[in-house]
Amino acid sequence: MPAFAGHVPLALAGVFPDANITRSPYWAGMPEEYTQDGFLEPTDPLFDQIQRSFLRIYNATMGGLGAPDTPHLFNADSYK
């Protein structure tokens, strides 16, 4: 199942100025105007808050995590 890997819009730093957000590196030579994303460090308290919210919404949409037949493995590829 997917999980929150830390990818956030850079604009989130305007809402959470103390969050540890770094600009994602340029990818495949894309111009800067197309790379306006950031990476929220997993050690930042906001990461846990967003992760829990993401999983709660995903769980409500896709089914309960407590069910025996529900996968409990999560993928969070940061490609950083």
Per-residue pLDDT of the chain (80 residues; tens, 9 = 90+): 778 889 899 999 999 999 999 987 767 777 877 777 889 999 999 999 999 898 888 878 877 655 555 556 677 776 65
**For residue 16, what pLDDT is reported?**
97
DSSP 42: T
**For residue 46, what pLDDT is reported?**
97
- The answer to whether the pTM exceeds 0.85 is no
**For residue 1, what pLDDT is reported?**
73
CA 71, CA 3: separation in Å to the nearest integer? 12
DSSP 25: P
Contacts of 35 (CB under 8 A, 6+ apart): 23, 24, 26, 27
Residue spans per domain, the chain: 7-62
Taking phi over 0 as left and psi of -120 to 50 as alpha, with beta for the rest, 65 belongs to: alpha
Question: Which DSSP helix (H) or strand (E) runs through 48?
Answer: helix 45-62
CA 23, CA 40: separation in Å to the nearest integer? 9
**For residue 15, what pLDDT is reported?**
96
